[in-house]
Chains A and B, each alone.
Chain A
Amino acid sequence: MGTAQSHVEFRGVGKTYDGRTMVVRDLDLRARRGEFLTLLGPSGSGKTTCLMMLAGFETPTEGEIRIAGRPVHDVPPRKRGIGMVFQNYALFPHMTVGRNLSFPLEVRGMDAARRAECVRRVLALVRLDGFEARRPDELSGGQQQRVAIARALVFEPDLVLMDEPLGALDRRLREEMQFEIRRIQRELGVTVVYVTHDQQEAMAMSDRVAVFHRGRIEQVASPETLYEEPEGEFVARFIGDNNLLRGRIVSVGPDTCEVETPGGTVRAFPVHRHRPGDRTVLAIRPERVGLARTGVYSNIFEADVEDIAFLGDHLRLRLDLCGNPAFIVKIPNTVGHGAVLRGDRIRVGWGAVDCRALPDDEGARAVEAVAA
């Protein structure tokens, strides 16, 4: 399937509620058929707004949304054929589970026998066989969640939207439900657009993740790519842990660049076309930094161990390095407790490929402000 066959497509979508602040800006986003796409971002970054526009409960101020290649601006929500799971489930409290599930089938005019069959099947899918006669207030949070998912699937939509569906559950149940949702999605082959502000949840479930920040998409990529190859400071900070070092580009080669930091010159991988003199932010994962005697590194620095935490499988060191007073290093516990102590002066190093030179966001923001 080519790009024309994207199941969901946002083209230059913008949205403002009050006519002044754009809560979503210049949004271009595609989901392939059968894809699990997650919108990830901090609170207020516009994720729900995007989902509501896709479902038809809000209209875009600018741009166009297409489903299966067709613009949907004049299609009301009930005709979009989208299954929707709301954060607080939105189960009808005055109907039993069975009636909740058969509601979408009734409004489609399906006969009673087939309805009962569909309800039974979908309850089996979410592992709630025999719960037809219960009322929503007689179910646990996790069970209500499953009913909400079942109701969004029972009329066999090929697109399902979920807005923080696991937000109200405790951690154990969340993890269990993450697998359940993923299993169901694979089993049915439906396209899922999922909203969360929990990056671990996004990483665990998604084929691709769109990282939202202030109404814009910072990066859309697979979880691996987001982790290994963040393209901006926000993603580097938001996904996993990263050590950030601020500095200025000194020289740029094909695969490496040299960056001057308060602690010395660092060799890094240039993510953008930097020019000498540009300000940059270096992002280095704590687990990619090693003790200098155990590896061959393009960057080697000496630093005092400010603090150390023994975490069983690894040691977590805090160093004051290259202008970052809280530079974290994770060292696998192959050397045993006591090999490194607080106050030791140690040599650490990392490869240039593990050190990504990103555009400095403060600089970018300044440019943005001038342009606006």
Chain B
Amino acid sequence: MARSAERRPFGDHLGRGLYLAFCVAVLVFLIAPMLVIVPLSFNAEPYFTFTEGMLRLDADAWSLRWYRGIVADDDWPRALGNSLVIGVAATAIATALGVLAALGLANPAMPGRVPVTALLLSPMVTPLVISAAGMFFFYSDLGLAQTHLGLILAHAALGAPFVVITVTATLAGFDGNLARAAASLGAAPPTVFRRVQLPLIAPGVISGALFAFATSLDEVVTVLFLGGLEQRTIPRKMWSGIREEISPEILAVATILVAFALLLLGTVEWLRRRGGERAAARFRPG
């Protein structure tokens, strides 16, 4: 008895130590590589390592030259343009289709809800290489390979599941009778959608759209398969940049992307909190 009482604190310490070590390992291996690129992108020398000057915090060792390089270079702005065009168009399609699908799936009278849901969400679980290869052969026959439209459609298919999931989750918090109530009050279906359903699911729609946009923005596999020279997106350009001409410009682009991703995440979180507060207020006992 006495021994176990002595040993337990030791076990506790050990468990706690392991736990902390694990957390630190996660941070080091997952987060540190991302954080380290931020200062490195301000390197004044064309190296991927910290120079002595940087470590001494010499102002000369730091510079914006790679950021200037991105802007001066023709390829990066073009890649950015491609990424934005494809991302925005794919997001628009994914959002429209995803919202409609979620609304339909929320109707208990809809037949085959489970298989349809599984089908709609399948792009999330299918290995990307497989979908991309399939799309390549299919789109080639249709003449959609190496076109912007082809990539937009591919990215829309990858992004739509996020919209379906976020909108379905938002709808689950709402009374299914609201749409019926609106109809009984004389509203036609488009009015019901615009005045009642859309305002209520807006947080879900927006966060779904942001996820879809982020998916398109950092997607490289389908671009490798389907994109030609004209469809080079930022990730695709980084891919070749790393393989062909190693330049810290990539670090600068990566830093910008990280900042952008943080902005998106922050927006999603803010929307989620706002939606949560509203839901909590609604269910406050009256």
Residues of A at under 8 Å CB distance from B?
Answer: 55, 57, 76-84, 86, 88, 90-94, 103-104, 107-108, 136-137, 139-141, 143-144, 151-152, 155
Contact = CB atoms under 8 A, between A and B. Distances in A.
A137 B183 contact: no
A139 B284 CA distance: 10
Given A88-B177, A94-B200, A107-B191, A78 B184 contact: yes
A191 to B, nearest CB: 15
Contacts of B206: none
A141 B185 contact: no
B199 interface: yes
Contacts of B195: 103
Contacts of B184: 55, 77-78, 80, 82-84, 152
B13 interface: no
Contact of A90 (B181, B199, B284): B181
B286 A103 contact: no
B282 A151 contact: no
Contacts of A81: 186
Contact of B185 (A76, A104, A143): A104
A55 B185 CA distance: 11
29 contacts: A55-B180, A55-B184, A76-B183, A77-B180, A77-B184, A78-B186, A78-B188, A81-B186, A83-B184, A84-B180, A86-B177, A88-B175, A90-B177, A90-B180, A92-B196, A93-B200, A93-B282, A94-B199, A103-B182, A103-B187, A104-B185, A104-B186, A107-B187, A108-B186, A137-B281, A143-B286, A151-B181, A155-B185, A155-B186
Listed from nearest, the 5 A-B pairs whose CB atoms lie closest are A104-B185, A90-B181, A84-B184, A90-B177, A141-B286
A103 B185 contact: yes
Interface string B167-197: 0000000110110111111111001000110
Contacts of A57: 180, 183
Given A84-B181, A107-B185, A137 B175 contact: no
B278 interface: yes
Nearest to A140: B286
Determine the interface band of chain B, counting residues with CB < 8 A from chain A.
20 to 34
A78 B282 contact: no
Contact of A151 (B185, B278, B281, B286): B185
Interface centre among A93, A108, A139, A143 (most CB of B within 10 A): A93
Contacts of B282: 93, 136-137
Contacts of A104: 185-187
Q: Which of B178, B181, B187, B282 has the most CB of A within 10 A?
A: B181
Nearest to A145: B286
Prevailing SS type, chain B contact patch: helix
A79 B187 CA distance: 9
Given A57-B183, A86-B180, A94-B199, 10 more contacts: A77-B180, A90-B175, A92-B181, A93-B174, A93-B200, A94-B200, A107-B187, A136-B282, A137-B284, A139-B286
A143 B286 CA distance: 9
B184 to A, nearest CB: 4
Contacts of A82: 184
A104 B199 CA distance: 17
Contacts of A88: 175, 177
B203 to A, nearest CB: 11
A92 B186 contact: no
Contacts of B199: 94
B33 to A, nearest CB: 43
B180 to A, nearest CB: 6
A253 B185 CA distance: 57
Given A78-B186, A93-B278, A86 B181 contact: yes
The listed residue with most B CB atoms (<10 A of its CB), out of A90, A152, A155, is: A90
Contacts of A77: 180, 183-184
Interface centre among A80, A82, A94 (most CB of B within 10 A): A94
Contacts of B177: 86, 88, 90
Contacts of A140: 286
Interface string B87-130: 00000000000000000000000000000000000000000000
